[in-house]
Structures are given as structure tokens and as C-alpha cells.
Amino acid sequence: MDNFFISNIDDADTVPMFSLTDEEDPAIGDKYSEEIPIIALRNTVLFPGVVIPINIGRPKSIAAIKASDGTDKFVGVLSQVDGKIEDPTINDLFRIG
């Protein structure tokens, strides 16, 4: 039973998380506006293709969700450098992620 998981996995057992064709890529066309609302996440990491719940409670985050609710609009999600900051500014967010 040692190494059960490793010994029974081969290339046929792996499945890509997601696959986008050109028709499915939201970056194709002009769906993006010049500005999008940003949600600052504390102590949370997101990965492409993985669905996880995100707790939204701060007024700025709620406003960002409401701005895109019921439309094809997008929101940006960035992680906070310091999760203790209650009202982060652009300088309190990682530039990537």
C-alpha cells in the first residue's frame, strides 16, 4: 500500500483543469471595459479553473459585485499584501494576482 497514489497515477489519469478555445476566451472581442471594479482578497489564493466560494463583506467589495451583477461585466481580484488592512488602497494590493 506504500505510494498507492503515486504508483497508480499515469498520464491517462490526469485531466486538465480547463480548456479555452478562441470562441470561449473572454479576452477576445471587446467585452472588457476601460475600467473594472477590483475586489481585494485577504488570506485567499485563487487558481485558474478552480471554483471556490469567496466571502464578500466589505462595502467596496459589495459595490464591485453589484456593479457587475446581472451583466457580462467583469471584476478584477487582487490579493492584499497585508490582510489586516480593512480599507486597502491600490498600494496595499499585489500588482499581479
Cβ burial, residue 64 (10 Å; 0-12/13-18/19+)? buried
* Lowest-pLDDT range of 11-20, 25-34, 44-53: 11-20
Q: Give this prediction's pTM.
A: 0.60
Sign of the alpha-carbon dihedral angle for 55, 60, 62, 65: negative
Q: What is the DSSP string of 49-87?
A: T--------SHHHHHHHHHHTTSS---EEEEBSSTT-SS
Question: pLDDT grade, residue 27 (50/70/90)?
Answer: low
In the chain, what are the domains? Answer: 20-97 (2.30.130.40)
Does 78 have pLDDT greater than 50? Answer: yes
